[in-house]
Structure 1
Amino acid sequence: MNQQKPSPGLSRARGPSVADTLAADRVAPPGPLLEESYAFLGDADIPCSRYTSRQFADREFDRLWSKCWQWACREEHLQEVGDNYVYDIGPYSVIVVRTATQRIEAFLNSCTHRGTRLLGGEGCGYSRAFSCPFHGWSWSLDGQLRDLPGRWDFPHVDDTSHNLRQVQCERWGGFVFINLDPEARPLGEYLEVLPEHFRHFPLDRRRIRTHVQKVLPANWKAAQEAFMEAYHNFATHDAPNGANTQYDLFGKYVSRFIHNIGSYSAESLHDYPGDKWRAPPLSENQMLQMLSVFGLAHDEVPPGESARSIAAEDLRARLGEAWGVDLSDVSDSLMLDSIEYHLFPNMFFFCGITVPMVYRF
């Protein structure tokens, strides 16, 4: 049986699109979620060496990680003056420290005498000052050389030239970013649409609930690419809404996907194997049962309603009461959907309420 070959970059899943689903929601989404910014960038294979070559990894450390903005920690890690966070990326190590009530700065985690590492492994700490464990040189929190033993033997040392090497440091959304390139453009430019889009769902109002860290036997790009698509949804998550997802590109550094949860169309599964969820199609009550993992008040869908709208309404009521906030105007999409913004090279921000994760690879 002959089948028409899909058109590169133009083919779409059958059934309602993400935009169709959002348009039908009871509580409409904020403007940024209605924007569409798709571009086809090609479908040529990427050489496996990009994931396995030590030479290519070295090029990344030289040309990428040393020059791009990357989040080091959250502001919650640095609540008091002297609180610090060591951020390691490959051969580079940076100390991020609160130097004053309203000021956070970053420095290379390296003694300016012989290059000894000043603070230990990655994570939180507290210091009144920084001291080298090798020869005892010390610096104030703002990186100024404070003391060195046997100063009489260092007439050639100019204190200002031996301050800790400062690293660019800026904040957005409660995250603290660093950039090892002194010539890098400001973070605000690098973030492109993120500040405007996240004005509708501000990340600086959120706090760390759980931190999970895993070491994976894979290249960082291969690991994160699994979270840049929803094609795996049917097989991996055993979910009935297939791979129908909206993908957007905003500028050079920001991309996004919106994957509806609680929506369903048997038509969108027309070319999936077997008849699961397609013959017969799922009812709205069956869809609601699948969403019961969210802890819903309803176990049946009232006439004229959808499982998606009932689930969103139940979540607004339950979470609003639990958190002591009014969620009545929060859209169905923000309550349910997997909405993921990716900031190059390795940062993921989810703006939804029920899926409020952030990833860094």
Structure 2
Amino acid sequence: MPATRPGDWLDPDSGLGLGLEDVQPGTFNMTIPTDRYTSREYAQREREAIWMRVWQIVGRAEDLPKPGDWKKCDIQDQSFVIVRGKDDKLRGFVNACRHRGNALCINETGNARRGFLCQYHLWSYDLEGNLRGVLREDLAGQIDKSENSLYEVPVDTFAGFIFLNPNPQAGPLREYLGEEVYRLLEPYHIDQFTTVMDVKEAIDCNWKVVMDAFEEGYHINGIHPQLLAVLNINPKTARYQFFERHSVAVAPFEVQGAGAQKQVDGIMALPETFPGTAAVIPRFQELVAPYQGKDGEVEFPDGVTARGLLQEATRDVLTGMGLDVSELTDNQMSDNQGWVLFPNYFMTVRAGECHVITAAPHPDGDPNRCIWHVASYMYLPSEHRDAFRADPIVVEEPGSYKYFEALQQDYVQMPRQQRGLRNDRLDHMSLVKEEVVIAHFHSVIDRYMADAAKS
């Protein structure tokens, strides 16, 4: 039966999603060498094979609303600047003056409505990167302005995110992500989401430790026991799709076999871990009320579940706010789909909100450190976006910023794993089948590393 909406891929009858039983042994390598987390030599090869060749998310289009708005973005030791032109187009340039290489932009953001001016020798460039002015041009000698424009790098957008590729010969972003990724994500309208949390800090683990941590639910019992009240981690109900570079996985938000009251209690506790659900809880309580007895206990008749009422409440609230969720299924009202966009982007997304983790190698080159970036986004009416928009936070003192509960638990756990990975006798990790998304992710790494070794 063909899917009628992109979200229908979760229906086992659609023939699109996979269950664990559909992933045959040998599909992916389940043994991962540990030197890729600790070796400086491997990290250097990664730089050339992956980071200098692939599309990476470097911000949100809403960060640069006006002509001349720019932001600096660094990818390892390479620096770039992205600017919105007078034609409203976003462009990316190497952050270096063509005269003697001085960095044009030192701050993180700014506005260059009249263009960029190098503070060293006052060469100037317009928003399209063209060299416009040279100090004492009549005495400068053989300077061909047309040959000294800023070096441009590919920039594009999808779902409101700005992507940059350091490789000037990169293929189109749409080709890199794939048509299926576009089709499955576009109904969420993430391009209209507003940034409500934006935190970046250095953390003592390899960037792949961060990615691995968010690519499986196998650790929930050990690290996030509070989630067991609302998240069904029965691997038999999880669904997957694997693409050339990327993947998506879903575990339904429900507790199998739990009574009605336990289901309701679990959903009422959701805002402690998923703050975006707070707006839905009042409507959810209204829908639950008819099923409460005089003693306050909840009992549901056949066909009614707390999960179903949460889905109904979510659709009611978002639609009542004038937001378009018409192309999303009921499952997408409640269930966080976990997306991995290679190389370093993990997102959980459900109707009305998404949470994003990215991780990048530390600029100092130490494979035992990385920069992680945590951000949350909400689908809000346009008149409320400015009130909820969060400013970026850069954490300078480790441990000084407190994340919401589940994220804080991961924050504490990841450096602990890195310490273990540094032991010389531990030469590999052994994955279980529930960690198949990690295995797929590392298969993409292996492919990029092998291709680079051939070239």
TM range (shorter): 0.7 to 0.9
The question of 1:36 aligning with 2:12 is answered no
Give the C-alpha shift of residue 360 in structure 1.
1.9
Which is richer in helix? 2
CA 1:118 to 1:214, structure 2 compared with 1: closer, same or farther past 3 Å?
Answer: same
Equivalence for 1:204? 191
State the SS of the aligned residue for 2:198: coil
2:338 partner letter: E
Q: Separation in 2 of the partners of 1:52 and 1:260?
A: 35
The question of 1:126 aligning with 2:102 is answered no
Any idea what the Cα deviations from partners look like across 1:288-347, whole Å, max 9, x if unmatched? 1111124231263432211211222223334444x3336577433212112011111011
Equivalence for 2:206? 219
State the SS of the aligned residue for 1:171: strand
Q: Separation in 2 of the partners of 1:163 and 1:29?
A: 43
Q: Separation in 2 of the partners of 1:213 and 1:109?
A: 21
Q: Retained in 2: the 8 A contact 1:144–1:163?
A: yes
State the SS of the aligned residue for 1:56: helix
CA 1:81 to 1:354, structure 2 compared with 1: closer, same or farther past 3 Å?
Answer: closer
The question of 1:69 aligning with 2:60 is answered no
Any idea what the Cα deviations from partners look like across 1:50-90, whole Å, max 9, x if unmatched? 01111111112222111101122111011110011111110
Any idea what the Cα deviations from partners look like across 1:66-125, whole Å, max 9, x if unmatched? 11011221110111100111111101111111112431111011111221111114x432
Give the C-alpha shift of residue 158 in structure 1.
1.3
List aligned pairs for 1:88-127, cutoff 5 A: 88-121=74-107, 123-127=108-112
List aligned pairs for 1:95-174, cutoff 5 A: 95-121=81-107, 123-128=108-113, 129-174=115-160
The question of 1:254 aligning with 2:246 is answered yes
Equivalence for 1:274? none
Give the C-alpha shift of residue 176 in structure 1.
1.6
List aligned pairs for 1:11-26, cutoff 5 A: none
Q: Retained in 1: the 8 A contact 2:250–2:335?
A: yes
Equivalence for 2:32? 46
1:286 partner letter: K
Q: Separation in 2 of the partners of 1:39 and 1:83?
A: 47
Q: Separation in 1 of the partners of 2:222 and 2:253?
A: 15
Equivalence for 2:346? 348
Mind listing any 5+ residue stretches in structure 2 that lack a counterpart? 270-276, 290-297, 360-455
CA 1:78 to 1:153, structure 2 compared with 1: closer, same or farther past 3 Å?
Answer: same
Q: Retained in 2: the 8 A contact 1:198–1:351?
A: no
Choose 155-164 or 39-48, whichever is displaced more: 39-48
The question of 1:359 aligning with 2:351 is answered no
Q: Which runs of 4+ in 1 moved over 6 A?
A: none
CA 1:136 to 1:328, structure 2 compared with 1: closer, same or farther past 3 Å?
Answer: closer
The question of 1:82 aligning with 2:74 is answered no
Q: Separation in 2 of the partners of 1:180 and 1:339?
A: 29
Q: Separation in 2 of the partners of 1:155 and 1:329?
A: 61
The question of 1:234 aligning with 2:221 is answered yes
Q: Separation in 2 of the partners of 1:262 and 1:44?
A: 29
Choose 222-231 or 150-159, whichever is displaced more: 150-159
Give the C-alpha shift of residue 206 in structure 1.
1.8
Give the C-alpha shift of residue 168 in structure 1.
0.8
Give the C-alpha shift of residue 157 in structure 1.
1.8
1:170 partner letter: D
Equivalence for 2:266? 290
Mind listing any 5+ residue stretches in structure 1 that lack a counterpart? 1-27, 266-281
Q: Retained in 2: the 8 A contact 1:95–1:106?
A: yes
Q: Separation in 1 of the partners of 2:327 and 2:259?
A: 27
1:259 partner letter: A
CA 1:167 to 1:124, structure 2 compared with 1: closer, same or farther past 3 Å?
Answer: same
TM-score (norm 2): 0.65
1:248 partner letter: Y
Q: Retained in 2: the 8 A contact 1:336–1:354?
A: no
TM-score (norm 1): 0.80
User: How many residue pairs end up in the alignment?
Assistant: 317
Give the C-alpha shift of residue 132 in structure 1.
1.5
Equivalence for 1:313? 312
Q: Separation in 2 of the partners of 1:234 and 1:126?
A: 48
C-alpha RMSD over aligned residues: 2.4
Give the C-alpha shift of residue 164 in structure 1.
0.3
Give the C-alpha shift of residue 39 in structure 1.
4.3
State the SS of the aligned residue for 1:190: helix
State the SS of the aligned residue for 1:155: coil
- Which residue of the other structure, out of 140, 148, 169, is the alignment partner of 1:183? 169
Q: Retained in 1: the 8 A contact 2:253–2:334?
A: yes
Bigger RCO of structures 1 and 2 (CA < 8 A, at least 6 apart): 2
- Which residue of the other structure, out of 330, 333, 336, is the alignment partner of 2:334? 336
CA 1:156 to 1:326, structure 2 compared with 1: closer, same or farther past 3 Å?
Answer: closer
Q: Separation in 2 of the partners of 1:29 and 1:66?
A: 32
Give the C-alpha shift of residue 242 in structure 1.
3.0
